Structures are given as C-alpha cells and as structure tokens.
Amino acid sequence: MKGIATKISRTLIPGSILVCADNSGAKTLMIINKLGKGHHHNRLASAGIGDIVSASVKTGSTSYIKKKVKAVIIRQKSPIRRANGIRVRFEDNAAILVNDVNLAIGTEVKGAMAREIVERYVKLAGIASRVI
C-alpha cells in the first residue's frame, strides 16, 4: 500500500456513522473496527481518509442490511492538511464498499473523492465523479 504525503487527522472511531457514497445498495454504514495496524493499548482504533475499515450496513437494500462489509473512507468532516499547506474539509463522512482485493463493488461514486484516495488506490479513480 502506498503512503500518503498529507497530515490526516484520524477522527472516525468505532461506532461512527458513514454515508455510503456508491451505488452498491447500502445507504449508511457504522464502523466496527479499522483494519490493519494503527491502534494503541486501551485506545480505540481511529480511522481517516484512505483507511480500510470493517463496517456494518445500517440502512439500504435488504441484501446488505446487518451484513459485515469492508469500506474505504473517501471523505471526512475533519480537515486534512496537504503538503502545500492547503486544508481540505468535506461536508460529510463517506465511504465506498470494496471487496477483498480492494476493488470497488459499486460502479460510480456520488459526490467528491479526496485526491489522497486516488494516489493510494488507483483502481478507485475510475469510478470517481469528482476528485478534489
């Protein structure tokens, strides 16, 4: 996995609600845990833009409700600081569903996607409607 050259404040903890920004059938997700390294002893594993989380589908089509899925976070409300000094913040916390090899399940993304996602996961850039 490729590194990101920005300072990302990881503010999404287990229990945070995300909007599912793709057309896979899920509407809202709740974070269960962050996948991979990144937690400390006696501290919740926090996630930010570009992190893969395991989530539970709260609302959406009946084939997804109460199912455990993998998702990549593409937007967060808390600002992120890029290397050129610009701070970027979005209106909502959003994620898209991915499969086991980190390819998107849906075919298009509603709304903007952070540029850091495109740098790390090149295959997800093909379904993005806007990259900021």
Q: Record the pTM.
A: 0.92
Q: What is the pLDDT of residue 39?
A: 74
Q: Which two tokens stand for residue 116?
A: 């850091």
Q: Which CATH architecture is the domain 17-131 placed in?
A: Beta Barrel (2.40)
Amino acid code (one letter) for 56? S
Pairing of strands 80-81, 68-75: unpaired
Q: What is the pLDDT of residue 88?
A: 94
How far, in Å, CA of 109 to CA of 86, rounded?
Answer: 24
Q: What is the pLDDT of residue 6?
A: 80
Q: What is the pLDDT of residue 1?
A: 62
The pLDDT tens digits for 35-72 are 987 778 888 889 999 999 999 999 999 999 999 999 99
Domain residue ranges of the chain, discontinuous segments joined by +: 17-131
Which candidate, 127, 11, 28, 129, places its Cα nearest to that of 79?
Answer: 11
The pLDDT tens digits for 68-113 are 999 999 999 999 999 899 999 999 999 999 999 999 999 999 999 9
